Chain A
């Protein structure tokens, strides 16, 4: 595990500079006018970022309203009987619900949960595994679809949420296995 960890951390430190060096020098080798072409590509950055704004604003506002109202406590009370049936620990339920909605929200919940139940017990390892193994689905959908003006997202959201649910079940299973 330690060897694996050091390999990956070296890789992530080296990846960006190596990639830049390789891409640009390979481009120069292939007689691409690197600076001119790079500037041309970089121009798009502004447009994409600006195009995302309406999608991101509306998505984050609806999540913020949900969070500020305290509706999550109500939601937890409603789904609690169901999740108890599946054997999901109720202490990790706020994390599971917040994770796809909000990155900063779930970061806060992870920290609070570990403060309340300890970092190295079942609950602590479970919430941090959960944070580490999934992305903020709503944010990713808003940004990625926003960048190309997609409004009809078809089955993207149910796919993402089901995957989050499976990640949660898998986290409960694997953490239970090692602890």
Chain B
């Protein structure tokens, strides 16, 4: 299942990007090689070899013509640095800021030029015309950049876990040797023997799972992950088929991903920052929604374990 979804995300992503790019090429959606008519007042007396900052005005109809869309309500004004190579020609470096139509930012991103666009400037008669660098395959470039960037981010996330993992696994080891984790497991025995029938009631896995779920409920994400990974390690010790998820692991993760939330701290913080009059209003609704989801998740994990394609006895060990 995970195989198929993983592959589908990549295939759908790349094909969509390619499809959009082909469509944009057929439409010439960035107006490649079509000169823009611009008006620049201050440029009349600029001799060759000078460099100055100017302001270009682009009309609404020029925007619509180049970007092949009716979605512009107004023209725009672009700040640029111009260096004249002759009386009638020069090079422009346009500053792409937030005030400009988003297409310009997309072009700068696709050209990898970080907030600027380069254009050739020419005079024909009374009119100034600029020609921007051609842009194509915007989405495929985005996909490539995203893939490379996130590969680095993923490693940073994993490395970032090392410290917090080391700290908690150290503390947990002490608790384990002192027999605390086993005590904790015995305490919740009536619940866990039903949830995890293939885990012995006083196994250290149970203690770690309880710690993980309690930490999640309190919104202590930093502590929850080490407890959870410790629990997975303990569950894997009971696993006769290496590389295959056991029923208990799936039930544990079902509990974990849908986990009952007492305080959704991040969501409250964002609401507060966005100017909500009652940021904590969602505590009740989050609690009820996650409680419903948790009950459902545990039930469905038990039911799906019996479906033929997911059955334990059909899964092959590595």
Contacts and interface: CB of A to CB of B under 8 A. Distances in A.
Of B178, B253, B285, the most chain A CB neighbours within 10 A belong to B285
Contacts of B20: 69-70
A24 B167 CA distance: 12
Interface string B16-29: 11001000000000
Given A56-B154, A132-B282, A167-B293, A12 B219 contact: yes
Contacts of A114: 270-271, 274, 276
Contact of B262 (A8, A156, A164, A178): A8
A27 interface: yes
Interface string B263-303: 11111101100111111111111111110111011001100
14 contacts: A41-B174, A52-B161, A56-B155, A57-B151, A60-B154, A65-B13, A69-B143, A110-B267, A124-B276, A140-B256, A144-B249, A148-B239, A150-B243, A151-B318
Interface residues of B, number: 116
A174 B284 CA distance: 9
Contacts of A149: 236, 242-243
Interface in B125-163: 139, 142-143, 145-147, 149-151, 153-155, 157-159, 161-163
A23 B281 CA distance: 35
A42 B284 contact: no
Nearest to A152: B244
Q: State the majority secondary structure of interface residues on A.
A: helix
Interface residues of A, number: 100
A125 interface: yes
Contacts of B157: 56, 60
A157 to B, nearest CB: 5
Given A38-B174, A65-B14, A69-B16, A57 B310 contact: no
Contact of A119 (B142, B164, B261, B274): B274
A85 interface: no
Contacts of B288: 170, 174
B270 A128 contact: yes
Nearest to B174: A27
Contacts of A76: none
A150 B249 contact: yes
Given A32-B177, A66-B13, A163 B297 contact: yes
B169 A45 contact: yes
Given A5-B283, A69-B139, A163 B243 contact: no
B158 A50 contact: yes
B256 A153 contact: no
Given A133-B293, A135-B259, A144-B253, 18 more contacts: A29-B178, A37-B174, A40-B170, A53-B154, A60-B150, A62-B6, A62-B9, A65-B14, A66-B10, A141-B2, A147-B233, A150-B244, A151-B244, A153-B1, A156-B249, A157-B5, A160-B257, A174-B288
B293 A163 contact: yes
Interface in A1-59: 1, 4-5, 8-9, 11-12, 15-16, 19-20, 23-24, 26-27, 29-30, 32, 34, 37-46, 48-50, 52-53, 56-59
B297 A27 contact: no
A164 B164 CA distance: 28
Nearest to B267: A132
A129 B177 contact: no
A56 B221 CA distance: 17
Interface string B165-206: 111111111111111100000000000000000000000000
A52 B158 contact: yes
A20 B285 contact: no
Contact of A62 (B10, B253, B264): B10
Interface stretch (B33-41, B65-73, B77-85, B224-232): B224-232
B301 A155 contact: yes
A151 B2 CA distance: 9
Contacts of A129: 264, 267, 282, 285-286, 289
